[in-house]
Amino acid sequence: MQWCKQKFPVLTVLLGGAAILAAVLTFSPGADGWGENGRWRLPPCSFRTVTGWVLGRPLPCATCGFTHAFAYAAHGRFAEAFREQPAGTVAFFAMLAMMAGAGWTLATGSPPLRLRRWQWIALGIVGGALLLAAWVCKLLEAFCAGR
């Protein structure tokens, strides 16, 4: 039982990241910006749908482009990933780092680093600021393109 308490969360991070990585490796973003969303049967972004109805112009949500950014990054096309969604590209590399840390923890029994509470808070603030900045860029891009 003790093993489950200690290792299950770490194993979940490792296997969850591997599942996400396997999924995005099967995804090929298309030149039209939609890629294989139809084949994956992904529902349309609710935020884009609602803003399209209310404002008459669909606007991207804060995470619009994450799937494409992950897919580009997984295929080694990092410039395209960053251009699609900078925060998504950073999240992709954060996921890889978490997977590596989980692997290290499973192999050695101790985490690769220990962060203090204020460091976790700082990481959250930086991540939130990055997501907000990327969203502002996506909104500006949508307004400038007239979409």
Within 10 Å of residue 138's Cβ, how many Cβ atoms? 21
Shortest CA distance to 63 belongs to which of 116, 135, 118?
135
Mean pLDDT by 10 residues, the chain (147 residues): 73 94 84 54 77 79 89 93 93 95 89 88 95 92 75
Q: What does the pLDDT read at residue 53?
A: 74
Domain ranges for the chain, please list them. 2-145
Q: What does the pLDDT read at residue 15?
A: 95
Show Cβ contacts of residue 119 under 8 Å, excluding neighbours closer than 6 positions.
none
